[in-house]
Amino acid sequence: MSIDNILSQATADAVKALYGVDFPAEKIVPQTTKREFEGNLTIVVFPFVKAARKAPDAVAAEIGEYLVKNCDAVKAFNAVKGFLNIVIEPSFWAKVLTNIAETADYGFRKASADSPLVMIEYSSPNTNKPLHLGHVRNNLLGFSLANIMKANGYKVVKTNIVNDRGVHICKSMIAWQRWGNGITPEKAGKKGDHLIGDFYVLFDQHYKAEMKELQAKGMSEEESAKEAPLIKEAHAMLEKWEAGDAEVRRIWKMMNDWVYAGFDETYHRLGVDFDKIYYESNTYLVGKEKVLEGLNSGLFFRKDDGSVWADLTADGLDQKLLLRSDGTSVYMTQDIGTAKLRFQDFPIDKMIYVVGNEQNYHFQVLSLLLDKLGFKWGKDLVHFSYGMVELPEGKMKSREGTVVDADDLMDEMISTARATSAELGKLDGCTKDEADNISRIVGMGALKYFILKVDPRKNMTFNPKESIDFNGNTGPFIQYTYARIQSLLRKAAEAGVNMDFTPSIEPNDKEISLVQRLADFPAIVAEAGRSYSPALIANFVYDLVKEYNQFYHDYSMLKESDENVRAFRLRLSATIGDIIRRATGLLGIEVPDRM
């Protein structure tokens, strides 16, 4: 049993004995005592004041006295108003460490047959361009969130919806037809997603040139955007696609297949995957059927031009377009169709969409529509809304070709990691394969940690150079600490030093603080799941690593003369290494044994 559970149960016993009230132990949650007060853990006693009919400080004092007399883990206490600060018996922390070290998957809960099923959608790329830095943040957040929800005992299905149809896809197709001269990824020596992205940029360049010509003839910018021949051709191609035109469909499939091959390679390098991939080309018709059902039942209405709308003014929103006047669908239609297919495929209890905060309104509307259409999880769907990621140079624009491709970014991170590691002597004595692998692990770890340590709701600036620093709040700092611990344990094993210590050992304040951080891990994992925040895991592991490094610097390990103390410190180090590995694993970050 953990120290938190012991205190919770002991406090519940105290409330029963002192005030005759049965208070559920699971609702008593000890908190880490604030630094300005003496103590290790704090219990808030305000929930018991009414039953006790006494002032909060008196209730805290009475419960504290009961715990000192009846709970072996409690050495002393102090009461500050309604806060009971508890000092844990120093020798008890050795038992806590042993419990953590011997508990398989400490901090994680396993899913059971009746665990809720959570579906998490992330990535959602368009097949007209390669994945870029914004997609990197999306994928890393979605994959990490899936890991965190699994660690909280949920059944998890990871899904992706690929936006593989629409006017934007037709733009790349037209550009390839006009200016591609039959080029293929093999002929170009390029990944397929990069090649198609080039044609998307090319279309935009020619489209803007046509708009300028029309504006020079007296047209407004808005009119020229609609009347330019290229955009009209793109809309006409979309109509042909929806009508099943054989040649348009052939080119569409060929180019999309090029892109999928490129995406798969990028996903593999990022270390993310999916249990089920949906395609807009398969879901939009299902969405149209569902919208027409809603129209026939009076949920939606048709305007004079033939377009179909949802009137959400009674819900505090506005009217939302669901089908255009020409019968073509919009993103909302596709999302409705995808929801129906997913609901057919899986018994979903909760749906989480990992999508940027520029789509907040879209998901407000989608939640209402799905609820009205009868999806049980519609009203409670979660939009995991995250902020945009930029570079120090500013925003990125796909149409102008100013985005940072995910592949180029990963190449740069690995290259920088190799150069930095070599400069610091971290690769000395490594074979080429070992150096390559360490560089990959460090480069990708730096990228992932830098992005995931930031509160997902905030916009962020990604600075590649700052992220690869072996000191400070970075992935390499954490990875190097893990490697340092593994090196220490190897040396201990080679010297025949064991890690068995006597239960009566009394750790010093620094050791107690580290054990208490380890004891906090289950609560951190649980809170990360409740608040959908990988940043909580990232910051927990950084704080743990920072404190351990100070401890490693200030105290002897293998050279400690007291065998019992040495064994305790080695066991503590090994357990910290294990928690580092589990925590970084939740973030999708590898940790190397040597570095």
DSSP labels for 231-271?
A: HHHHHHHHHHHHTT-HHHHHHHHHHHHHHHHHHHHHHHHHT
Cα(38)–Cα(581) distance, integer angstroms: 31
CATH number of the CATH domain containing 551: 1.10.730.10
pLDDT greater than 80 at residue 139: yes
Q: Which two tokens stand for residue 229?
A: 């021949």
- 294 and 344 belong to one structural domain: yes
Q: What share of the chain is helix, strand, coil (3-state, %, to 5)?
A: 55, 10, 30
CB atoms within 10 A of CB 332: 19
Mean per-residue pLDDT for 323-347?
91
- 274 and 415 belong to one structural domain: no
- pLDDT single digits (tens) 232-244: 999 999 989 989 9
* Residue 62, strand partner residues: none
- 498 and 431 belong to one structural domain: yes
pLDDT greater than 80 at residue 394: no
* Residue 320, strand partner residues: 310
pLDDT at 470: 81
Confidence of residue 402 (pLDDT cuts 50, 70, 90): low
Confidence of residue 392 (pLDDT cuts 50, 70, 90): confident
Decide: 286 and 337 in contact? Cβ < 8 Å: yes
- 369 and 296 belong to one structural domain: yes
* Residue 160, strand partner residues: 277
- 428 and 546 belong to one structural domain: yes
Give how many domains the chain has, as a whole number. 3
- pLDDT single digits (tens) 21-56: 999 999 999 998 998 999 999 999 999 999 999 999
Confidence of residue 400 (pLDDT cuts 50, 70, 90): very low
CB atoms within 10 A of CB 106: 19
Decide: 13 and 46 in contact? Cβ < 8 Å: no
In 152-228, alpha helices (H): 167-179, 185-188, 192-216, 221-227
In a domain, 252, yes or no: yes
Burial of 7 per CB tally in 10 Å (0-12, 13-18, 19+): buried
Q: Which value, to the nearest 10 degrees, does the dihedral of the CA atoms of residues 184, 185, 190, 194 take?
A: 90
What order of strands is seen across the sheet that includes strand 83-88? Answer: 31-32, 41-44, 83-88, 74-80
CB atoms within 10 A of CB 429: 8
CATH number of the CATH domain containing 15: 3.30.1360.70
Cα(287)–Cα(282) distance, integer angstroms: 10
253-257, 375-379, 533-537, 543-547: least confidently modelled range: 375-379
- 39 and 68 belong to one structural domain: yes
In a domain, 188, yes or no: yes
- 451 and 356 belong to one structural domain: no
Confidence of residue 393 (pLDDT cuts 50, 70, 90): low
Quickly list DSSP for 271-322: T---SEEEEHHHHHHHHHHHHHHHHHTTSSEE-TTS-EEEE-GGGTS-EEEE
Report, in angstroms and rounded to the nearest whole number, the Rg of the chain calculated over CA atoms: 29
Q: Which two tokens stand for residue 535?
A: 């940043």
Residues spanned by the domain of 71 = 3-89
Decide: 369 and 378 in contact? Cβ < 8 Å: yes
pLDDT greater than 90 at residue 327: no
In a domain, 12, yes or no: yes
pLDDT at 399: 44
Helix/strand/coil for 60: helix
- pLDDT single digits (tens) 144-174: 999 999 999 999 999 999 999 989 999 999 9
* C-alpha neighbours within 13 Å on the C-beta side of residue 552: 18
- 85 and 230 belong to one structural domain: no
Unique residue bearing structure tokens 């700052």: 466
What order of strands is seen across the sheet that includes strand 301-302? Answer: 301-302, 308-311, 319-323
In a domain, 96, yes or no: no
- 342 and 439 belong to one structural domain: no
In a domain, 580, yes or no: yes
Q: Which two tokens stand for residue 340?
A: 């129906």
Confidence of residue 401 (pLDDT cuts 50, 70, 90): very low
Decide: 447 and 413 in contact? Cβ < 8 Å: yes
pLDDT at 503: 84
Q: Which of 206, 210, 211, 213 is nearest to 221 (CA)?
A: 211
Domain boundary among 358, 390, 422: 390
Decide: 85 and 78 in contact? Cβ < 8 Å: yes
| φ, ψ (nearest 5 deg) of residue 437 | -70, -45
pLDDT at 426: 84
Mean per-residue pLDDT for 103-120?
95
In a domain, 327, yes or no: yes
- pLDDT single digits (tens) 169-203: 999 999 999 999 999 999 999 999 999 999 999 99
Helix/strand/coil for 35: coil
- 337 and 482 belong to one structural domain: no
- 474 and 581 belong to one structural domain: yes
pLDDT greater than 80 at residue 391: no
pLDDT at 1: 64
In a domain, 115, yes or no: no
In 346-405, alpha helices (H): 360-372
Helix/strand/coil for 329: strand
The residue type at 578: D
Task: Share the mean pLDDT of the chain.
Answer: 93
- pLDDT single digits (tens) 264-289: 999 999 999 999 999 999 998 999 99
Between 466 and 178, name the one with better pLDDT: 178
pLDDT at 390: 80
- 154 and 75 belong to one structural domain: no
In a domain, 112, yes or no: no
